[in-house]
């Protein structure tokens, strides 16, 4: 059903974008365009309008985002709020004006309240304020959910809102200034091995738990939702399993071959105490269930980094 559609993927040059493009190609989609920097600055309304004129999409999958880990969220909350809010609001509004058939919006696990009952259910998304360090980013992305529902109610515009949990996998962002926890830990281990250091330092207490979603599984979930989900109620996409940061760190240390000690900097924040999704709605609505367990995904990610790290410096 998607093979002959004109599909534009914002953020198509990014981590998730590259995997989604491959997935779409695997399913025979041949009319795919990328809307990303430097060709299009999606915080600029004239660039968005030009993008719609030039790519003429029937379906838009909006992956583009300014994003980073806890440190990046603390350093740049205003940029994270403004850039993500303005991108989402203008892209969706212009999609409506251009009579786009379907707009697929990617939200974030950071949209959930800080103390959401575990596992996170979609109906709990408004029951409190997000964790403080990532609230500007989470709330900015969540405004696409409000917009999606409002535009469907008033205009009958078909847009959907997906809530992915923390992504990881080959091709992830390994920049220490903005990376998330898995690539950051992998890089720390390799750097320590290179430098013959006997320890690595990790933020927080290690007690927080997280759910991690292999990027190829995420691409499959987005494909299936684009194909067959047509409601504005939000849908979680993830694995439905969690691990503590302490256990994750031990696992990455083991898989990378680092033999030194782990030092916990408890002066640094843990972030949200727990993250674990109820993923039953994705299975019910569009038949998605994650296939890649954490060990397998980490091994693939570490091997990719081992083979490509010389290109990232």
What residues are annotated to the active site? 137
Write out the E strands in the chain. Answer: 6-10, 31-35, 59-62, 102-106, 159-164, 166-168, 199-203, 209-210, 212-214, 235-237, 243-244, 261-265
Nearest to 110 by CA among 168, 151, 149, 70: 70
Closest listed residue to residue 116, CA positions, set 279, 276, 270: 276
Instruction: List, in order, residues 6 or more apart from 29 with CB less than 8 Å away.
Output: 2, 3, 5, 7
Which of 34, 17, 251, 243 minimizes the C-alpha distance to 42? 34
The answer to whether the CB of 176 falls within 8 A of the CB of 132 is no
**Spatial contact of 160 and 223, defined as CB atoms under 8 Å apart:** no
Asked if 159 and 93 count as a contact pair (C-beta separation under 8 A), the reply is no
Distance, in Å, from the CA atom of 305 to the CA atom of 182, rounded to the nearest integer, reads: 12
CA 59 to chain centroid, in Å, comes to 19
Where do we find the tokens 């004006």? 97
């Amino acid at each position: 059903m998607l093979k002959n559609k004109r599909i534009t993927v914002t953020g198509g040059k990014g981590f998730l974008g590259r995997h989604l493009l491959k997935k779409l190609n695997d399913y025979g989609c041949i009319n795919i365009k990328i809307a990303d920097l430097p060709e299009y600055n999606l915080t600029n309304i004239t660039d968005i309008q030009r993008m719609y004129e030039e790519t003429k999409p029937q379906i838009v999958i909006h992956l583009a985002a300014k994003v980073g880990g806890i440190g990046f969220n603390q350093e740049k909350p205003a940029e994270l709020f403004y850039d993500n809010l303005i991108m989402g609001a203008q892209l969706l509004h212009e999609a409506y004006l251009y009579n786009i058939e379907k707009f697929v919006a990617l939200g974030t696990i950071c949209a959930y309240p800080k103390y959401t009952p575990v596992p996170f259910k979609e109906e709990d998304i408004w029951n409190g304020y997000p964790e403080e360090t990532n609230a500007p980013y989470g709330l900015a992305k969540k405004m696409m959910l409000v917009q999606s529902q409002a535009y469907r109610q008033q205009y009958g515009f078909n847009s959907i809102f997906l809530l992915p949990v923390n992504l990881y996998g080959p091709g992830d962002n390994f920049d220490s200034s903005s990376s998330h926890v898995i690539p950051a830990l992998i890089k720390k281990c390799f750097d320590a091995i290179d430098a013959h250091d006997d320890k690595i330092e990790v933020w927080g207490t290690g007690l927080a738990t997280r759910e991690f979603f292999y990027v190829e599984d995420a691409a499959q979930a987005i494909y299936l939702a684009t194909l067959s989900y047509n409601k504005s109620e939000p849908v979680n996409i993830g694995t439905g399993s969690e691990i503590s940061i302490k256990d994750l760190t031990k696992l990455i240390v083991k898989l990378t071959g680092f033999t030194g000690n782990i030092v916990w900097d408890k002066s640094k924040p843990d972030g949200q105490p727990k993250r674990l999704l109820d993923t039953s709605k994705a299975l019910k609505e569009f038949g998605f269930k994650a296939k890649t367990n954490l060990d397998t995904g980490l091994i693939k990610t570490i091997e990719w980094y081992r083979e490509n790290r010389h290109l990232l410096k």
